[in-house]
Amino acid sequence: MEQATQVTPEMLNEVLAAANEAQFMANNLWLLVATVLVFIMHLGFATLEAGLVQKKNVVNILFKNVMIVSIGLLTYYFVGFNLMYPGTNPGGFFGFAGFGLTPPDGGLTSAYGSYTYYTDFIFQGMFAATCCTIVSGAVAERIKLVPFLVFCTLFVTISYPITGMWKWGAGWLDAMGFYDFAGSTLVHSVGGWAALAGIILLGARKGKYSEKGIKPIPGHSMPLAAIGVFLLWFGWFGFNGGSVLSADPASVSLVFVTTSLAAAAGAIGAFVVSYIMFKSYDLSMVLNGILGGLVGITASADGVGIPSSIIIGLVAGILIPLSVTFFDRMKLDDPVGATSVHLVCGIWGTIAVAIFGNYGEGVGTLYAQLVGIAAIGAFTFTFSFAVFFLLKLVFGIRVTSEEEVKGLDVEEHDLSAYAFN
Amino acid sequence: MEQATQVTPEMLNEVLAAANEAQFMANNLWLLVATVLVFIMHLGFATLEAGLVQKKNVVNILFKNVMIVSIGLLTYYFVGFNLMYPGTNPGGFFGFAGFGLTPPDGGLTSAYGSYTYYTDFIFQGMFAATCCTIVSGAVAERIKLVPFLVFCTLFVTISYPITGMWKWGAGWLDAMGFYDFAGSTLVHSVGGWAALAGIILLGARKGKYSEKGIKPIPGHSMPLAAIGVFLLWFGWFGFNGGSVLSADPASVSLVFVTTSLAAAAGAIGAFVVSYIMFKSYDLSMVLNGILGGLVGITASADGVGIPSSIIIGLVAGILIPLSVTFFDRMKLDDPVGATSVHLVCGIWGTIAVAIFGNYGEGVGTLYAQLVGIAAIGAFTFTFSFAVFFLLKLVFGIRVTSEEEVKGLDVEEHDLSAYAFN
Amino acid sequence: MEQATQVTPEMLNEVLAAANEAQFMANNLWLLVATVLVFIMHLGFATLEAGLVQKKNVVNILFKNVMIVSIGLLTYYFVGFNLMYPGTNPGGFFGFAGFGLTPPDGGLTSAYGSYTYYTDFIFQGMFAATCCTIVSGAVAERIKLVPFLVFCTLFVTISYPITGMWKWGAGWLDAMGFYDFAGSTLVHSVGGWAALAGIILLGARKGKYSEKGIKPIPGHSMPLAAIGVFLLWFGWFGFNGGSVLSADPASVSLVFVTTSLAAAAGAIGAFVVSYIMFKSYDLSMVLNGILGGLVGITASADGVGIPSSIIIGLVAGILIPLSVTFFDRMKLDDPVGATSVHLVCGIWGTIAVAIFGNYGEGVGTLYAQLVGIAAIGAFTFTFSFAVFFLLKLVFGIRVTSEEEVKGLDVEEHDLSAYAFN
């Protein structure tokens, strides 16, 4: 170029290509970093749930969470990704682009958007597995291992991608204006509905509800639980921030602020209300309040003002102690509070889109949001209930009374979580 | 552009804008990733402090750290950010730009520098809360929960932003050449001074100092403490690396090297000196040696040579066992060594700017550094002492003797950290 | 530029420079983020190993891992980096560019590639220390602290950089077509060979192998072990992804997919085979299966198809229970299974390059791979055996029988890992 005396359009286009490539690199890089952050949420769930169960069931919950990520990623590769993203504008209820990955361009270029096909797969794959992790906490301490893993495999292969496609795969809910930015409904309440189906069919842990009232069964390690919540918040920067699907500075930085302040407000809401209700500074409520705030803001993190994000988080935090108490009154035994966090606050966050969101006309209307919540809830709960029911019929899903008393660690895994003598 | 036969300046400007946008995206992205890294330092502090306290006070310290992040972010949104960064070149002691965030450009564009307004807020907001986390460790195992949270709220809303403004908000210390790259003084010694005020007014834990001498009260979990230090080092890449305020490859990579080698040298310094002093391989000293090295290099990580960074870290590591012993002799009871790490090594790091720094004439002179240390120390200590004193007078800041013996977890939180039976 | 009426080649070159700078920023940024991710692998190793040893030796293993990072980074600064990367195309067995860092350009510009000299150093420095971390687990619970640290110092200063130079420093193995993308051999099996030398010379832990057979010695905390594996997987995104040495979207996203799916398949392989062998759902096997899958894919993560990556991980996972059983039969006592994970799966991964890799003619041939495995194995094992042997002769490397029974924590560190009373 140094020899040229005149600049031709071709020369300018080459330079433009270099600038566009730089933008593509930054966009793709952020999606990959976000993938890593979402990945570590699996450790967050594992430690949170391990901390909140009894000492005798810790190996079991760790085992399940380790297997869920692995099964989730593999099934999402073989089936889920193509079921969830069947192609451009299918508009309908169902679509499927085939087994395995078949990138249009070898998966390598920007033809696919501001990131490569492989980046898209691995980012979405990390999401897919999280919905099962939500279930594992709720059904902990009494479910049989193999039926649970079979459920997860079917759930992440079939149910999660189909309802996901309705919105993110350009399906019918997307067409009618339903909005769910990063998955208050598509990921969190979906996991919550499956959890609810599971705990209804399983029944409560032995001794939890009796004529004497509700017996508290405290988690065995609050440090593990706190580690879990901090790691989930940490990962949520990738979960919500990555859902911008580019490194667009305006959007991603707004999402960081709304997400953080909703989480913080969730802690405050749960702190105040749980103090009023229980007259103590309840750590597990505050931890779940943070998670509730995060779940609540997930549907609208890219399209609300900062004050709105604080209100959304605050309300979610307030909902936590109320919801935990409600489920206990209904004798629905959820050792980690997953239904309160993911189902209740997931629904709240999806409704909040209609109240606080700025998405333009016809997008995120209250009607569309309610239809989305109901349709996805009905499908997911029915699917989950049917699968758990069949598994119960064929194999049984609950461990024996003796195994439950002795603990799943020794009975199913031949190993104690701790050797402290 | 394909139809054009000539390249106009307008066409070139469009391409230049694309290239500049790509740089802006990379700069902003690094600040956001650094934000995530600084966020996880809160988990680092939580696990470090939880590991170093007794088993009976673990829920309490976790509760405090969870609340501090939440309170810190919210108050920084409502007041702190605008108090710390009141606008361009105020040059004075005090300035305030109003309540809440009012981004000049909707917070979304690069008008604000190499990052958006929202990015700036959330990065600085993560810093703000850390100074209170430093305090929580030092006053652990005997402070009342609510007065402590009131102190934190006032401290992070008023004190931290005012002294921060003196340098980073273009205030009077900045004008006179005081230099503190990422906060050896502005963050760490500020937290250390507040901690010192707290432990003076609180007094030592029961039985710590008696006629029989100093009773060691070992931390309840060294794995938690080690997890904390590794996470803090991990987060420090964002704390120091992000303080470059751009993704400038030269500066950020230099900061990574100086920061890492100072931390490593801190471990060596503490290892050797603690072995000479105590004739044992003292894990807690080495862990604090790493933190000391990190605090020490924080003021000058962008402007010293690599050999200097090693010396700075080594000296900081050597200071740790000496300082811990000194505070114990003074009967100032600090369960986690926060004053040694953050106050002593923070002062050392700020002085080291004058010895090793290359910042050009008039910047980082010994005089300016000493004035900065003294002024910020005097303000912070006075503020903290006054607030703690008033809280002591009005509410009391120390739990009862009975609560201290039984532990704060059961007394204040109605929950044990572990259910191991 | 606004006043110009004509666009000159000089003007275009300025814009091109801005675009190139943006690409340089993105590339360098990814390497720095990858550095942070590899750093946290040290916490992964520390928690994994701490979890898998007995309660009485936890402080010792934490202490060693903290010191290893610190010693590793400092020696890599003083010697290792220049020994491993002596300059362009040395082609031979040995080369050395001097002590300390002497960046050609002040370390600050892109003259060095798509990242700065300092970025290169700190990224490679994080790798260097990991190989010693591999050793620390295998020789745990019976090795003396100071001789172990002396071994690590020599190993990371001399042995690791020399064999590393043979491939990554453009040495003779590189010239003959040996391929090892991110270090199945250069990092992992190198650590594994050193571990093997150590456990041969140390002998098994007391009571592990007796006439009554093999006594299982369970790890003291499975949550710590699980945290370790998740953090290692997390960090591996930087280990493999960063080894692309740029943010090239095509390569990095491919590496993310192959790495993740190999890890997932490793879990499945270990799950199935360990169930067949032991009739239980063995958490430690599944955890090591994930690590085996990660080690296995490390040599070829950038150059195999997705189905191949799944097969590589699956085979690695299958190898884990077989290998652990084999080493136990040979009475080679490895408390954490490091030789199975890093040596056996490292060799498998290096061979897999020849079976599945697409690297063009003459690169990654079976012959070259076998020569590389053998040459590096012979050098490393000989070096390690000689150093451990000399240390044994001069200082002794094994703690006394009494110390082993009481535990290294109290005997060497005067501290218990837990104060739970």
What is the tens place of the pLDDT at every residue in A146-168?
Answer: 999 999 999 999 999 999 999 99
Q: Which residue of A has its CA nearest to B26?
A: A26
pLDDT, position A111 = 58
Q: Is B246 on the interface with A (CB under 8 A)?
A: no
**Minimum mean pLDDT among A93-102, A289-298, B129-138: which range?**
A93-102
The yes-or-no verdict on residue A2 having pLDDT over 60 is: no
Return the residue in C257, C290, C309 with the most chain A beta carbons within 10 A, the one to mutate for interface testing: C257
Rounded to whole angstroms, the Cα distance separating A317 from A55 reads 28
SS3 C44: helix
Cβ atoms A206, A37 nearer than 8 A: no
Quickly state the pLDDT bin for B90 (edges 50, 70, 90).
low
Quickly state the pLDDT bin for C92 (edges 50, 70, 90).
confident
User: What's the burial of A13, exposed, middle or buried (CB within 10 Å: 0-12/13-18/19+)?
Assistant: middle
Quickly state the pLDDT bin for B135 (edges 50, 70, 90).
very high
User: Which C residues 348-387 touch B at CB under 8 Å?
Assistant: none
Cβ atoms C373, C347 nearer than 8 A: yes
SS3 A108: coil
The yes-or-no verdict on residue A1 having pLDDT over 50 is: no
Cβ atoms C313, C112 nearer than 8 A: no
pLDDT, position A96 = 84
Q: Is A410 on the interface with C (CB under 8 A)?
A: no
* Cα Rg, chain C, nearest whole Å: 22
Q: Is A283 on the interface with B (CB under 8 A)?
A: yes
User: Which C residues 53-72 touch A at CB under 8 Å?
Assistant: 54-55
**Partner residue opposite B230 with nearest CB, options C42, C59, C63:** C42
Cβ partners under 8 Å of residue A26, min gap 6? A247, B22, B25, B26, B29, C22, C26
Rounded to whole angstroms, the Cα distance separating C388 from C396 reads 9
Query: What would the mean pLDDT of C216-226 be, rounded to a whole number?
Result: 97
Cβ atoms C243, C186 nearer than 8 A: no
SS3 C99: coil
Cβ atoms C65, C152 nearer than 8 A: no
Quickly state the pLDDT bin for A63 (edges 50, 70, 90).
very high
User: What's the burial of C92, exposed, middle or buried (CB within 10 Å: 0-12/13-18/19+)?
Assistant: middle
The yes-or-no verdict on residue C2 having pLDDT over 50 is: no
Q: Is C417 on the interface with A (CB under 8 A)?
A: no
Cβ atoms A349, A316 nearer than 8 A: yes
Measured between beta carbons, which residues in chain B are less than 8 angstroms from residue A260?
39, 73, 122, 125
Rounded to whole angstroms, the Cα distance separating C263 from C258 reads 9
Tokens of B247: 């993704």
User: Which C residues 127-166 touch B at CB under 8 Å?
Assistant: 145
Return the residue in B8, B21, B76, B118 with the most chain A beta carbons within 10 A, the one to mutate for interface testing: B118
Measured between beta carbons, which residues in chain C are less than 8 angstroms from residue B286?
63, 66-67
Quickly state the pLDDT bin for A97 (edges 50, 70, 90).
confident
How would you classify residue C180: left for phi > 0, otherwise alpha for psi between -120 and 50, otherwise beta?
beta
Measured between beta carbons, which residues in chain A are less than 8 angstroms from residue B26?
22, 26
**Minimum mean pLDDT among A201-205, A372-376, B10-14: which range?**
B10-14
Tokens of C161: 């950089």
**Partner residue opposite B257 with nearest CB, options C12, C47, C121:** C121
pLDDT, position A107 = 55
Query: Taking the model in full, what pTM does it have?
Result: 0.97
pLDDT, position B229 = 98
Summarised one tens digit per residue, pLDDT across range A9-42 is: 999 999 999 999 999 999 999 999 999 999 999 9
Return the residue in B224, B257, B287, B420 with the most chain C beta carbons within 10 A, the one to mutate for interface testing: B257
What are the φ and ψ backbone dihedral angles of C402, each rounded to 5 degrees?
-65, -45
Q: Is A13 on the interface with C (CB under 8 A)?
A: no
**Partner residue opposite A29 with nearest CB, options C29, C263, C283:** C29
Distance of CA A156 to the CA centre of its chain: 12
Nearest alpha-carbon partner for C254 in A116, A85, A26:
A116
Summarised one tens digit per residue, pLDDT across range B149-178 is: 999 999 999 999 999 999 999 999 999 999
Q: Which residue of B has its CA nearest to A275?
A: B413
Distance of CA B347 to the CA centre of its chain: 13
Quickly state the pLDDT bin for A99 (edges 50, 70, 90).
confident
Give the bridge partners for C214, in sequence order. C209
Angle at alpha carbon of residue A318, lines to A315 and A320, rounded to 5°: 115
Summarised one tens digit per residue, pLDDT across range C390-414 is: 999 999 999 999 999 999 999 899 9
Q: For chain A, which domains are there? A: 19-89+108-206+219-413 (1.10.3430.10)
Tokens of A263: 């989480």
ipTM above 0.90, yes or no: yes
Quickly state the pLDDT bin for B113 (edges 50, 70, 90).
confident
Query: What would the mean pLDDT of A252-269 be, rounded to a whole number?
Result: 98
Cβ atoms B148, B137 nearer than 8 A: no
The whole-chain average pLDDT of chain B stands at 94
Cβ partners under 8 Å of residue C50, min gap 6? B223, B226, C58, C61, C62, C221, C224, C228, C417
pLDDT, position B1 = 43
Which tops the pLDDT comparison, C264 or B94? C264
pLDDT, position B112 = 63
Percent of all residues in chain A with a pLDDT value above 70, rounded to a whole number: 96
Q: Which residue of B has its CA nearest to C101?
A: B306
Quickly state the pLDDT bin for B2 (edges 50, 70, 90).
very low
Percent of all residues in chain C with a pLDDT value above 90, rounded to a whole number: 89
The yes-or-no verdict on residue C1 having pLDDT over 50 is: no
Angle at alpha carbon of residue C188, lines to C184 and C194, rounded to 5°: 140
The whole-chain average pLDDT of chain A stands at 94
pLDDT, position A6 = 83
Summarised one tens digit per residue, pLDDT across range B317-367 is: 999 999 999 999 999 999 999 999 999 999 999 999 999 999 999 999 999
The C-alpha of C93 sits at a distance from chain A's nearest C-alpha, in angstroms, of 37
Cβ atoms A377, A364 nearer than 8 A: no
Cβ partners under 8 Å of residue B39, min gap 6? A233, A234, A237, A260, B69, B126, B235
Query: What would the mean pLDDT of C282-295 be, rounded to a whole number?
Result: 98
SS3 A398: strand
Quickly state the pLDDT bin for B95 (edges 50, 70, 90).
confident
The yes-or-no verdict on residue B3 having pLDDT over 90 is: no
pLDDT, position A3 = 52
Query: What would the mean pLDDT of C245-250 be, rounded to a whole number?
Result: 95
Helix (H) or strand (E) holding A348: helix A345-356
Query: What would the mean pLDDT of C119-142 be, rounded to a whole number?
Result: 94
pLDDT, position A110 = 61
Cβ partners under 8 Å of residue C132, min gap 6? C68, C71, C72, C152, C155, C156, C191, C194
Summarised one tens digit per residue, pLDDT across range B265-286 is: 999 999 999 999 999 999 999 9
